[in-house]
Amino acid sequence: MQENSWINNLNKLIANLLKEYSLGIDDIRWLISSRVTEQLLSDKEKPIEITKRIWSGKLESDLYNMEENFIENINSQLERGIIEETWIREQFAEASELKCRRM
């Protein structure tokens, strides 16, 4: 139920693409979580950077409402003409691929 109301409040294009790729909130969370994991692992040679990120609250901030912030950012960039449908499709294709591997 929550998922449907979340999708209904989105830009039509984004909502249609989410439906086309059969993606929901959890799939967007997984995509973002995967990216955060990659970023943390890339800093493994610099543990102080990871510690600073956790200590400063940046990691918590990045994770709080991550899926809503991700979609809002896409919507904002789309409205300003910074990104196009092709870029969104690439993001959602990645999310779809991750979803398949997760299942």
State in Å, rounded, how far the first CA of the chain is from the last one: 22
The residue type found at 13 is L
pLDDT at 3: 54
Q: For residue 54, name the pLDDT band (cuts at 50, 70, 90).
A: very high
Whole-model pTM: value is 0.81
pLDDT at 74: 93
Instruction: Say if residues 67 and 29 touch (Cβ distance below 8 Å).
Output: yes
Residue 75 has pLDDT above 80, yes or no: yes
